[in-house]
Amino acid sequence: MTASALSLDDFGAAAVRAGALEVRLARSTAEIEAAQRLRYRVFVDEMGAAPAGPAAAHGRDADKYDEYCDHLLVLDHSAGAAPEIVGTYRMLRRSVADRHDGFYTASEFDISRMLTMEGELLELGRSCVDKAHRNRPTMQLLWKGIAAYVFAHDVKMLFGCASLPGTDVAAHAGALGYLHHNHLAPETIRARALPERFVSMDLVAADDARHADAVRAFDARTAIAALPPLIKGYLRVGGFVGEGAVIDREFNTIDVCIQVVTDSVTDKYLKHYSRDNGASDPG
């Protein structure tokens, strides 16, 4: 396994700190393996995923993509002599994916339309935070790290699989219907669940004469409240979803494809998460 040789400082960004917390890229194989152990605790122990392979036998969530991704970390320096990794994101640029085995998202969604975009694309995935650190400061540090990376590499679009817990589509009918009818990506760049894995998110009967209006009028507050915080975060920065969902039985989730065109991110969030923003105050 090859650790990233980069840190946020290599991008010309000041150290991104908030009290005892710091966000940066992994600098060693040991740090990547620590992030994989955190992923295992969250995905397997908490969410009921059933990963396979040698890494799983050692309590790590790992796959082939880890070998060539950058791994964004939040480290807690209050834990002792060695900082504890309490949050992570896996990041893969198109310029890197093209030299290896492509994107993880392509195993669930047809992203061919998205790939017609010119410029750098960035896949985000394997996001998780230690249970004791699931709070605003940790999440905002992760977003600040992503923002620094986006600016450094002139990324035009962020995308990736985002998950709803469990595999019961009916239990998420309101949330999926809300996403489908209010946040579909523009057709020219829209991802679509692979045919053999496609699960409709359009969960209102087609013979309902008030079809579109009925979904839009669905108790939006209830639907939004049912969305995982990560998906709500993407929507707040102008994110879209692809068409169709995918049931991921290995991870015990229902996945949607998130797409964020960086030019469409609101001025408020660009200012808030810019690397020029005060790094010591996550706001």
* pLDDT for residue 264: 63
* pLDDT for residue 151: 86
Q: Quick one: 104 exposed, middle or buried, by C-beta within 10 A (0-12, 13-18, 19+)?
A: buried
* pLDDT for residue 254: 96
pLDDT tens-digit map of 47-56: 999 877 888 8
Other C-beta atoms lying within 10 Å of the C-beta of residue 267: 7
* pLDDT for residue 265: 63
Residue 82, token pair as written in the block: 């060695």
Q: Computed over its alpha carbons, how large is the radius of gyration of the chain?
A: 19
Q: What is the pTM of this model?
A: 0.86
Q: Regarding beta strands 16-18 and 246-248, do their DSSP bridges make them parallel or antiparallel, or are they unpaired?
A: unpaired
- Residues of the chain predicted below pLDDT 50: 5, 12, 205-211, 213-217, 266-268, 270, 272-283
* pLDDT for residue 9: 57
* pLDDT for residue 7: 53
Residue 229, token pair as written in the block: 């915080």
* pLDDT for residue 16: 77
Q: Which of 222, 72, 214 is nearest to 152 (CA)?
A: 72
CA distance 212 to 131: 38
pLDDT tens-digit map of 126-173: 999 999 999 888 888 888 888 889 888 999 999 999 999 999 999 998
pLDDT tens-digit map of 74-91: 999 997 778 999 999 999
CA distance 22 to 33: 18
**Domains (ranges, CATH) in the chain?**
8-273 (3.40.630.30)
* pLDDT for residue 184: 96
